[in-house]
Amino acid sequence: MQHSGYYLWEGITFLMQILVGTSLLVLRRKAGGRPAFTEADRQLFFASPRLRVSTPEFWVNFAVATFLCLFVGLLERLILVPFGAAVLTTAQLITFLGIVKKSLC
């Protein structure tokens, strides 16, 4: 209970980072003359994923992605822990999504 203020503040900071990041994305798209929510966004968020998991190539890429996520996650923890949990979580989320997208898609 003594750390609840810290967790509350970190949660608010994390939510604000998500809100600001989404707002910047919408502003960037609107400035470029594109719609804020595209068909690709709808497919990404609401369509069912179709992964083929039976190929050996997928499992090799999955192992590489797992190793990279573990290694980069530990490295980010060493560097970003002093900045707080919200910054660390945001950085890891973006990094892991990038690794998985490049490795598996």
Q: Where are the domains of the chain?
A: 1-50, 54-105
In the predicted model, is pLDDT for residue 3 greater than 80?
A: no
- Residue 53's pLDDT band, with cuts at 50, 70 and 90, is low
Which of 97, 91, 100 is CA-nearest to residue 64?
Answer: 100
Taking residues 53-81, report their average pLDDT: 88
pTM confidence score: 0.56
Report the pLDDT value the prediction gives residue 47, as an integer from 0 to 100. Answer: 75
Report the pLDDT value the prediction gives residue 50, as an integer from 0 to 100. Answer: 66
Report the pLDDT value the prediction gives residue 74, as an integer from 0 to 100. Answer: 93
| Residues 6 or more apart in contact with residue 32 via CB below 8 angstroms | none
92 and 73 in contact (C-beta within 8 Å)?
yes
Report the pLDDT value the prediction gives residue 39, as an integer from 0 to 100. Answer: 83
